[in-house]
Amino acid sequence: MFFVDFCSMSRTRKNPIPEIVVLFGKRIKELRLERKMSQMDVGAALGIDRENIRKYEKGLQEPKLSTIIKFAELFEVDFEKLVSNS
């Protein structure tokens, strides 16, 4: 149920961006920098525009479940590492 809730959250003034989206952005930025990749590199590897990578990293855009899985595969980490506090 967590993943359904996570992927269906909407951004409105009454419902600000959830903390988990911000956490996801920080994690993917850390992993990208550890691997010395640019946002363009990541975007090219995932088939995602660089501007969307920037929005994910800043916590401005909520990723779909399929997008989170793509990031996990690219960075060779468990899905949970991208979306949990541990």
The tens place of each residue's pLDDT in the chain, 86 residues long, gives: 444 455 554 444 555 678 899 999 999 999 999 999 999 999 999 999 999 999 999 999 999 999 999 999 999 999 898 988 76
The DSSP line for 41-79 is: HHHHHHT--HHHHHHHHHT-SPPPHHHHHHHHHHHT--H
Distinct helix (H) and strand (E) counts, the chain: 6, 0
Each residue of 64-77: pLDDT tens digit?
A: 999 999 999 999 99
Instruction: Find out whether 83 and 24 touch, Cβ atoms under 8 Å.
Output: yes
Whole-model pTM: value is 0.79
Domains (ranges, CATH) in the chain?
32-86 (1.10.260.40)
- pLDDT attached to residue 1: 42
